[in-house]
Amino acid sequence: MKTADMLPKLEAWRDAIVEMDKQYDALNALLGLSPDSPFPRAIQDLQAVATEATAETVGDAGGWLSYYWLECNMGAGMLSGRHGSATIGGKEYQLRTLKQLARVIVADNMRESVES
């Protein structure tokens, strides 16, 4: 799948993840939920299912959506304060935007097809 074809799917995924985070934050503000309690765990499970389904749809066999979501904080930056990146075939790719994420997935898929 090409980057341009992937972007609408990635945007829908991002919007769903962000909306689930907003709903969790609103409930947490009202109820003071522990991150390990059943309801927050259910939201995290739904986010993981959405991420896995989107990864399958866009052909992300390398797990880049999960990396972007969990490690790169949806492009906002990692806990270390720096932004995520990926090195594929000796080339480094930044991971701040969905377009950059799509490029990483495409590059990784191309590398996989060449190596197979």
pLDDT single digits (tens) 18-57: 999 998 888 888 888 887 888 888 999 999 999 999 999 9
Residue 99 above 90 pLDDT?
yes
Q: Which domain holds residue 26?
A: 3-115
Residue 40 has what pLDDT?
A: 85
Contact between 24 and 16 under an 8 Å Cβ cutoff? The reply is no
Residue 83 above 80 pLDDT?
no
Q: What is the CA radius of gyration of the chain?
A: 15
Residue 16 has what pLDDT?
A: 96
Q: Give the whole-angstrom CA distance, residue 13 versus residue 28.
A: 22
Section 3-28 average pLDDT: 93
* pLDDT averaged over every residue in the chain: 88
Burial class (CB in 10 A: 0-12, 13-18, 19+), 43: middle
Residue 3 has what pLDDT?
A: 92
Tell me how far CA of residue 21 lies from CA of 5, 18, 34, 54, 116, in angstroms: 26, 5, 14, 17, 38
Contact between 39 and 33 under an 8 Å Cβ cutoff? The reply is yes
Residue 113 has what pLDDT?
A: 61
Residue 60 has what pLDDT?
A: 96
Q: How many domains does the chain have?
A: 1
Residue 114 has what pLDDT?
A: 61
Contact between 64 and 101 under an 8 Å Cβ cutoff? The reply is yes
